[in-house]
Amino acid sequence: MVVAIVLGTSGLLAQPTDYRLSIDVTGGYGFRISSSPPPELPELEETSGGGSGSLRALWCPEHLMHVGLDISYLPVSGIRAKNEALRQGSANISLVSLPVMGVIAMEKYGIDLSGGIGMILLRLDGKAANGEQIHSESWEIGYTFGAGYTWQYSERLGVGAEVKFIEFTDRPIGSVIAGLRVRWAMLKY
C-alpha cells in the first residue's frame, strides 16, 4: 500500500520537461566606452563604434540556467585623415572586434541576465596615405555581461531589447552594444 501511494504521488509531482534550443539575433549600435586615447593630431578624425550585431545559440533546460555560444560583430573605432587635400593621399584605418563567447544566462518573466568569457578577434584594416594596405589580426581574451527583456509573441517567437557590455582583458577597450533582438525557439522537446 505504501508503495502504491509513493508511486501514485510521484506521478502527480512530476512536471513535464521543457527543453529547447533557442536562437537570438540582435541588431543595434555598439560604441566604445573605454580605451587608451589615440594621438591628438589635428588632421586625424576618430570615430567610435557603429552598427553591430550578434547571434546567440542557447540550450535551455527546464531550470533557470541556460548555456550557449554568442558571436558578435562590433566596430571599435576608425581613424581617417581630415585634411586630405593637403596630404599625398587619403588614409583610413578601421578596428573591429568579433567576440566569440561561451555564455551562461538566466531568464525569468522575460527578463534575462547573462555573462560569459571567450576569445575576441581584433581586426585592423586600412589604407595608408601612400596607398599601402594595412591588415592585422590578433586574438584576445575577453568577457561579457548583458541584460535584456523578451516579449513572447508566440510559443516559439519572441522580440525584445538587449544591452551587452564587452571588455578586453589584455587591452583597455570596453564596448557597449544596445539593440533589438528576435528570439526563436528552434527546437523544443
Mean pLDDT of the chain: 83
C-alpha cell, 170: 589584455
pTM of the model: 0.78
Name residue, grid cell 521543457. 18
Amino acid (1-letter code) at residue 38: P
Parallel, antiparallel or unpaired: strands 111-127 and 133-152? antiparallel
pLDDT of 57 strictly over 80: yes
Ordered by where they begin, the domains of the chain are: 20-188 (2.40.160.20)
Q: Report whether pLDDT(56) > 60.
A: yes
Q: How many CA atoms lie within 13 A of 31 on its CB side?
A: 7
pLDDT digits (tens, 9 = 90+) for 87-141: 555 678 888 999 999 999 998 888 999 999 999 999 989 887 777 888 999 999 9
Residue with cell 566606452: 33
